[in-house]
Amino acid sequence: MAASTPAPVSADLPSATPSYPAAASTASRSAAAFWADADRHLVRYGGDFTREIIDRAAGSFLFTADGRKILDFTSGQMSAILGHSHPEIVATVQRQVATLDHLYSGMLSRPVVDLARRLAETLPAPLEKALLLTTGAESNEAAIRMAKLVTGKHEIVSFARSWHGMTQAAASATYSAGRKGYGPGAPGNFAIPVPNTYRPDFTTADGALDWRRQLDFAFDLIDAQSTGSLAACLVEPILSSGGIIEPPVGYFAALQAKCRERGMLLILDEAQTGLCRTGTWYAFERDGVVPDILTLSKTLGAGLPLAAVLTSAEIEQEAYDRGFLFFTTHVADPLVAAVGNTVLDVLTADKLDERARSLGTFLRAGLEDIAGRHAVVGDIRGRGLLAGLELVTDRETKHSSDELGARVTRRCLELGLHMNIVQLPGMGGVFRIAPPLTATEEELSLGLTILDEAIGDACAER
């Protein structure tokens, strides 16, 4: 189905009538009762909840129960690349859920086979085999499992500021958060340093990042620790939870060579960078490398739970011959596969890769303008509509302040802009800016204006 440029979703649409009993509707209960129920009954899974009751979402905006309108600069959980409630996604869900929603995991449907074929058509050879799953953690879990089975080895290498998910193998390859207090992870997981050009650890004579020396040093350490069972290297083309860090051109080709020398597979996790967000269909295109296994998630479902593992026919055949098992409840589900096909329709028809490049240039110029007015902006980085802005207290020393980042984030929300900030040891607060690819220049301008004001207000508080 060909897609056309979607009409803007009106901010004046009536709220949907709740489908659950009126007695339980948030519309009939006070905010105090809502938060009392939330505090009493919900498990906290990542810090405190944002104290806003979100009633609905449309396009680039969220709408709260008390009538506030909030510009969403995170695309939900970095996923809603077509904005919220995109009319073609809504139509697909309504149509598909009424005809074929879920199947026994060994059965196939046309949406699943169509999506596998169409994803292969967007990728370079030899990536042509797809496994359709639900979340990024699940796709990375499957990719690691496949790599271990095919190579007959078990050791996994990842970046020291990585985020690949919260299931066992994915969490064991995640180093940016969540490692303490849970006992041992999977055996044989190793971290290598992130090639951060803003905060270089290995430097050339002029102070620039010497990433080749850093990479050589990293694999010298890996070789010293390995038991001779190196299976794969799992990395993000642009580290997102690690602070929007993009390795230099040439790095991934050199990394792939390190993998080849050791008989390792290269797995690229494009949960946040895949499907046009960075201005190309896949972020790895910049580097001229093709991974052995590619994982997709967040952007593939445009906000719905859909993920994929893609690999070559050779690797898939070897995995099959060795009895590869990844039988899950929602593997190859037709409902979300139909959504994935619609996502590809819209990305293609509306040329959202080109749009991400154009809007990314616009966004970058606006962020640089903000940096020119606020000395606390230390660095701006990223690609396309995945941008990072790092806050520091001193541009020379690059000293960080968690308190400053928290103040700016809080003030942004007060002014009507939802932002996400990454705060890790050894770096300042880094805003992860990822608006929908369907956002307008006017909406980006609004977000930039609010961010500018929020930084000014937060600095004035000190």
Amino acid at 412: C
pLDDT score for 402: 85
Residue 6 located in a structural domain: no
Total domains present in the chain: 2
Is residue 54 within a helix (H) or strand (E), and if so which, with residue range?
Answer: strand 54-58
- Strands of the 61-64 sheet, one edge to the other: 54-58, 61-64, 69-72, 417-418
Domain boundary among 331, 349, 367: 349
Residue 200 neighbours by CB distance under 10 Å: 15
Prediction pTM value: 0.93
Q: In this structure, what token pair is assigned to residue 373?
A: 């007015």
Kindly state the DSSP code that residue 67 receives in the 8-state scheme: S
Same domain, 333 and 430: no
Rounded to whole angstroms, the Cα distance separating 423 from 2 reads: 42
Strands 377-383 and 386-391: antiparallel
Domain boundary among 349, 367, 401: 349
Residue 33 located in a structural domain: no
The Cα angle at residue 146 between residues 155 and 78, in degrees rounded to 5: 90
CA nearest to 299, candidates 264, 322, 272 = 272
The residues of the chain scoring below 70 in pLDDT are 1-28, 426-428, 462
Residues serving a catalytic function are: 163, 236, 269, 272, 298, 432
Same domain, 322 and 230: yes
H helix intervals, 271-401: 298-301, 313-321, 334-349, 352-373
The CATH number covering residue 367 comes to 3.90.1150.10
Question: 436 near 83, Cβ under 8 Å?
Answer: yes
Rounded to whole angstroms, the Cα distance separating 126 from 55 reads: 45
Same domain, 174 and 290: yes
pLDDT score for 84: 98
Helix axis angle for 441-461 and 402-415, nearest 10°, is: 130
Question: 293 near 147, Cβ under 8 Å?
Answer: yes
Sign of the alpha-carbon dihedral angle for 132, 134, 140, 144:
negative
Same domain, 343 and 375: no
CA nearest to 60, candidates 455, 453, 454, 446 = 446
Question: For residue 399, what are the domain limits?
Answer: 47-78+351-461
